[in-house]
Chains A and B, each alone.
Chain A
């Protein structure tokens, strides 16, 4: 009898906890419901719908085409060209932003007067709308109405027509101009995570400044560099506004970036099926890049 009471007393709190756990689950799901509904309707449903549309053709995307849009993409010189242009653009932006960002971060990582002001200034373009960035540089670089030629001329330099002669490189430069502050801040955070101890040890070993940079700073910054390069390539490969606003993909499609091409295919030529297939192909490339980053990043951690 006593034992039963004792057992009941021991069981009671557990019994009380069980419905509480259910209540917790109900609360959690209620709190999650709006977000989950949002992701279902505005991420996963569009993702499936895009896949569905990609096997149709015609102006209303209602003629079944099987994998036709995908095979077409691989043979389509315009799409292939857009893809390679985009790869060049992405690599150019990332390499440029990393090299310049790393240099600036190493300099700014020292104690220097006005450090946070410089860092703040460098971040301003990153927080400026791409619409401003694109239009502003189009104006400055315009061979006739732009101020750059006037300045070059006044110091005796030859006039430029960069947007006509080197459209892709110019867009790369504009993108670096906008992003370098972001890269710098990421590298600064990475540098501040390197324990001072490592440098002291290297110094005791008599390592030169350059050797310390090569053998301490660079390897320890590798995770940051990996993150910056993969995220940088992924976001650069999605660039739309710069070709749209600055070059219209020209001249001669030289700056015809992929998403701008997708946009024209969908909303210019009204070929939603083909545009959807093109989107999916770039999505696959981006997913592979993301997974590479995840895998390599995990290995780096362990």
Chain B
């Protein structure tokens, strides 16, 4: 595929290649510097974050800000809440999305087309439309400030089902027939034969679901009001008072929220890039 013609811009004008490099480099620096500054901010003293005296890098590295973060607010609890929320939702997706996707990919049943369109139609229903009625419903159920309240609105989605259907439709029917000939039950065929084949698609699905729910801001803000049920993205705003913001602790909290996704990204970049590209190829 790769051919020498790939270096086309060279003939755009002399030095086009160098300019291209420079543009990418500048944009990357503009991307990295604010995030690096967040780390710097998280290590600054209370004096350094005061008005009128911002510094690029602290005179002393105040790692104790991280101790304060876990001491002055229940940030460890927020961490647990975020993990429970993102983790539970991811597991639910890993079960429900392939189950439904498999049914659409490999079975024939009445109203299949209608049901598939109904599922796809939910892609057009933005969260802000569900926000008010689900909030009202959950407050009637007494589900605000509970884990089920945080988790239930996101248990599966049409995007995941669509992704799994596309992937599983490409698997040969013989796999399933062989399982049936061996006398395996349908659930067993799904769990033992289909799911293992779907690992690459499941990895993309799990990564995206986890990262998006880990970062989710709007719903935890709405569905929780007690301190002990806040998640990290919402907990970050607690240092944010009307006249004064404890910016160093906010930044420390942001780093704790950021690092797991950054690590995950570092190890799974190829999957994530492929997944992002997939969202555009529908």
A residues adjacent to B (C-beta < 8 A): 21, 24-25, 27-29, 31-32, 34-36, 38-39, 42-43, 45-47, 49-50, 53, 100, 103-104, 106-112, 116, 118-132, 135-137, 139-140, 144-147, 149-151, 177, 180-182, 185-186, 188-190, 196, 199-200, 203, 209-210, 212, 224, 227-228, 234, 238, 240-241, 245, 259, 262-263, 266-267, 272, 275-276, 279-280, 282-283, 286-287, 290
Contacts of A39 in B (CB 8 A): 118-119, 122, 158
Closest 4 A/B residue pairs (Cβ): A28-B107, A129-B215, A189-B277, A131-B233
Contacts of B17 in A (CB 8 A): 110, 112
Cross-chain contact B31 with A107 (CB below 8 angstroms): no
Cross-chain contact A124 with B31 (CB below 8 angstroms): yes
Interface string of B227-251 (1 = CB under 8 A from A): 0000011101100100001010011
Cross-chain contact A283 with B129 (CB below 8 angstroms): yes
Question: Once the chains are docked, how many angstroms separate the CA of A180 from the CA of B135?
Answer: 32
Contacts of A266 in B (CB 8 A): 131-132, 135
Contacts of A126 in B (CB 8 A): 276
Residues of chain B in range 34-69 having any CB-CB distance to chain A below 8 Å: 34-35, 37-38, 41, 49-52, 54-56
Q: From DSSP, what is the main secondary structure of chain B's interface residues?
A: helix
Cross-chain contact B217 with A241 (CB below 8 angstroms): yes
Given contacts A129-B215, A189-B277, contact A120 B236 (CB under 8 A): no
B203 located at the interface, meaning its Cβ lies under 8 Å from any Cβ of chain A in the complex: no
B281 located at the interface, meaning its Cβ lies under 8 Å from any Cβ of chain A in the complex: yes
Question: Once the chains are docked, how many angstroms separate the CA of A150 from the CA of B276?
Answer: 37
Q: Which of B245, B272, B279 contacts A127 (CB 8 A)?
A: B272
Contacts of B37 in A (CB 8 A): 136, 140, 147
Contacts of A190 in B (CB 8 A): 280
Q: From DSSP, what is the main secondary structure of chain A's interface residues?
A: helix
B261 located at the interface, meaning its Cβ lies under 8 Å from any Cβ of chain A in the complex: yes
Known: A123-B265, A137-B34; 8 extra A-B contacts, CB below 8 A, are A25-B108, A120-B273, A124-B265, A128-B258, A136-B34, A145-B245, A182-B276, A190-B280
Cross-chain contact A107 with B24 (CB below 8 angstroms): yes
Cross-chain contact A209 with B12 (CB below 8 angstroms): yes
CB distance from B226 to the nearest CB of A (A): 16
Cross-chain contact A110 with B20 (CB below 8 angstroms): yes
Contacts of B55 in A (CB 8 A): 147, 150
How many chain B residues have a CB neighbour from A under 8 Å?
102
B76 located at the interface, meaning its Cβ lies under 8 Å from any Cβ of chain A in the complex: no
Contacts of A107 in B (CB 8 A): 9, 20-21, 23-24
Cross-chain contact A245 with B133 (CB below 8 angstroms): no
Question: Once the chains are docked, how many angstroms separate the CA of A276 from the CA of B99?
Answer: 33
Could you write out 25 A-B pairs with CB less than 8 Å apart?
A: A25-B110, A42-B130, A42-B134, A46-B134, A47-B129, A53-B133, A104-B27, A109-B6, A120-B273, A123-B272, A127-B211, A127-B215, A129-B261, A139-B245, A139-B250, A140-B34, A199-B5, A209-B11, A234-B126, A240-B218, A262-B132, A266-B131, A266-B135, A279-B128, A283-B126
In the complex, residue of chain A having the shortest beta-carbon distance to the beta carbon of B278: A189
Q: Which of A118, A131, A210, A282 contacts B234 (CB 8 A)?
A: A131
Residues of chain B in range 128-156 having any CB-CB distance to chain A below 8 Å: 128-137, 152-153, 155-156
CB distance from A233 to the nearest CB of B (A): 12
CB distance from A59 to the nearest CB of B (A): 13
Q: Which of B7, B35, B41, B134 contacts A111 (CB 8 A)?
A: B7
Cross-chain contact A145 with B50 (CB below 8 angstroms): yes
Residue of A39, A118, A137, A262 contacting most chain B CB atoms (<10 Å): A39
CB distance from A156 to the nearest CB of B (A): 17
Cross-chain contact A127 with B261 (CB below 8 angstroms): yes
Question: Once the chains are docked, how many angstroms separate the CA of A266 from the CA of B5?
Answer: 57
Question: Once the chains are docked, how many angstroms separate the CA of A128 from the CA of B217?
Answer: 11
